[in-house]
Amino acid sequence: VQLQASGGGLVQAGDSLRLSCAASGRTFSRYVMGWFRQAPGKEREFVATISRSGGTTYYTDSVKGRFTISRDNAKNTVYLQMISLKPEDTAVYFCAAGGTSIATVSPYIYAYDYWGQGTLVTVSS
């Protein structure tokens, strides 16, 4: 599966942004989807994940209550709605697809098989 992330940009603290990740192929619903981010000089970190059906989600603590992950299996797309953005949210955001190694959801980078190219989110103070 090929993933194409979009929706990043330059926003001010407190603003909202929605990222999208479009997947190719007809098997999108078979994959657990995740969003990760990598800030300058830092390692890639987990942000959010969603199960194949969309019924289960899981977030890293720093984004709980501000970010919402969702998916539309008919459109082969996963979204990350971000509100109340903070300067520390500045990073390149990556979407990822995980297959049979993930039972429901996973926050682990190694569990994901396919990665998009990333979209830059910059939050100014």
Q: Which of 28-37, 45-54, 93-102 has the lowest mean pLDDT?
A: 93-102
Q: What is the structure's pLDDT at 100?
A: 81
Six token digits for residue 125 = 């103070």
pLDDT band at 83 (very low <50, low <70, confident <90, very high): very high
Hey, is 49 helix, strand or coil?
strand
pLDDT band at 92 (very low <50, low <70, confident <90, very high): very high
d(CA 57, CA 82): 15
Closest CA to 27 of 116, 98, 81, 117: 98
The type of residue at 49 is T
Average pLDDT along the chain: 96
d(CA 115, CA 27): 15
For CA atoms 26, 44, 35, 121, the dihedral sign is: negative
Q: What is the structure's pLDDT at 15?
A: 98
Q: What is the structure's pLDDT at 88?
A: 97
Q: What is the DSSP letter of 13?
A: T
Q: What is the structure's pLDDT at 73?
A: 96
Six token digits for residue 115 = 């990665």
